[in-house]
Amino acid sequence: MEEHLPAVDTHMVTTTFTLDGYRIERYLGVVRGIIVRSRSIFGTVGASLQTLVGGDISLFTNLCEETRAHAFQRMTQHAAQMGANAIIGVRYDATEVMQGVTEVLCYGTAVTMKPAE
């Protein structure tokens, strides 16, 4: 993952369309972070065994959480490349590309914000 690239500070990322104490100065457009993941055969077998016991299938939970985090990170990097210091209206979407392969998309609107006066 491209963790060394500049990224928008996570405190300036929100699912809402405003940030308390700030005003939008400029809209820069849609930004996205996309990652496509497949399950390994070992993870699938391990998760299948966990379903026998019931409850949280931690192997899949961890895979989903890690995948969403990577998509989020890529989105914040994309926004920084556009010159944004904030992202509003953030959402996630997931689509199964083929059996066992899922695309996770994290997207929002890149903006520049200034503290409200």
- For every residue of 46-101, DSSP letters joined together read HHHHHHHH-S--HHHHHHHHHHHHHHHHHHHHHHHHTT-SEEEEEEEEEEEEETTE
Mean pLDDT is lowest, of 8-12, 22-26, 38-42, 94-98, for: 38-42
Q: Which CATH number fits domain 10-39+69-115: 3.90.1150.10, 3.20.20.70, 3.40.50.360, 3.30.110.70?
A: 3.30.110.70
Q: What band does 5 get if pLDDT is binned at 50, 70 and 90?
A: confident
Q: Is 58 left (phi over 0), alpha (psi -120 to 50) or beta?
A: alpha
Q: What band does 19 get if pLDDT is binned at 50, 70 and 90?
A: very high
So where are the chain's domains? 10-39+69-115
Pair of tokens at residue 41: 């055969």
